[in-house]
Amino acid sequence: MSSSSRKARRQRAPLVWALPAVVVAFLFHYAAVAAGGWYAFTDWNGLTTPNYVGLANFRAILTNPDAVGALVNTLSLAVGFVIATNVIGLMLALALNAKLRSRFFLRSLFFAPVAISSLAIGYVWQFILEARGPLNTLLGLLGLQSLQRVWTADPTFSLWSVWLVMVWQFAGLCMAFYLAGLQSIPVELNEAAAVDGASSWRRFRRITFPLLAPAATISISVTTILGLRAFDQVMSLTRGGPGYASETLTTQIYKQTFVFGNFGYGAAFALVLTFLVLAVSGTQLLVLRARENRL
């Protein structure tokens, strides 16, 4: 057997090994998603035979104020979440990239919430934010009784209570992305700039921040998807209430499908969310990659 034929055989082998996993993923993921997408165009209630209704479910979503409100809440929560987690994560990474003796312990401490169940974190924070919870107790001790409220039951603050919990949980994930980026930057670049008299801010703006572009691309893309798909935190803290104040697309999918039995309508919500995630994250990725190439 010639060397070229042996090489071609070795190249084909990994593809054969991957084939069973590809088939399983197609059957249990992509085929299921495609079937769910078809139900979005029907009036299926989970029991009877589905009837094709065309775009009726999508028209109902666009004309329903509660559905439009859920879309606005989803986008507001995602934008605030992406900005806050990336700013805080970057600040933590810059602080813990220094040679502190406790830096490894602090990195683990800030990253720990990422590894904990979102539902568990939501229920803990529900206790913290309730009427007689630790937060209101602390505000009372500080003489700030005017700020006390039932945070998750207040229409003005319920959505931002969810935002607070999500930022607290995932800021450590962004920190890990930015730490990896910082540790890939050659120390000599900053040292040479310092010798030339560049200030800390100028070194950060001209050297560190541009070289963090790949880490920023990953961090922003991941947090965008997490923000748009937020579900566990909303359900454990507010269940979309009070009223529809903290309703999101994910909670609408759950309620319409499993609470009200409107499987076709719920599938339409799921399809809207899928295309929203693809459109936002795809556009974002293209813009951030283009920015990387310009730097």
Give the pLDDT band (50/70/90) at residue 195.
confident
Cα distances from 257 to residues 36, 39, 247, in angstroms, run: 11, 11, 15
CA distance 69 to 64: 9
pLDDT at 118: 92
Q: Check if the beta carbon of residue 86 is closer than 8 Å to that of residue 219.
A: yes
What value does the mean pLDDT of the chain take? 87
Q: Give the mean model confidence (pLDDT) for residues 66-76.
A: 94
Q: What band does 176 get if pLDDT is binned at 50, 70 and 90?
A: very high
**How far is Cα 74 from Cα 54, in angstroms, rounded to an integer?**
25
Closest CA to 93 of 80, 104, 107: 107
Global confidence as pTM: 0.86
What is the percentage of the chain residues whose pLDDT exceeds 90? 50
Domain boundaries, the chain: 73-246
- Identify the CATH homologous superfamily for domain 73-246: MetI-like (1.10.3720.10)
User: What pLDDT score was predicted for residue 10?
Assistant: 54
Mean pLDDT over 187-203 rounds to: 82
* Cα 66 to the center of its chain, rounded Å: 23
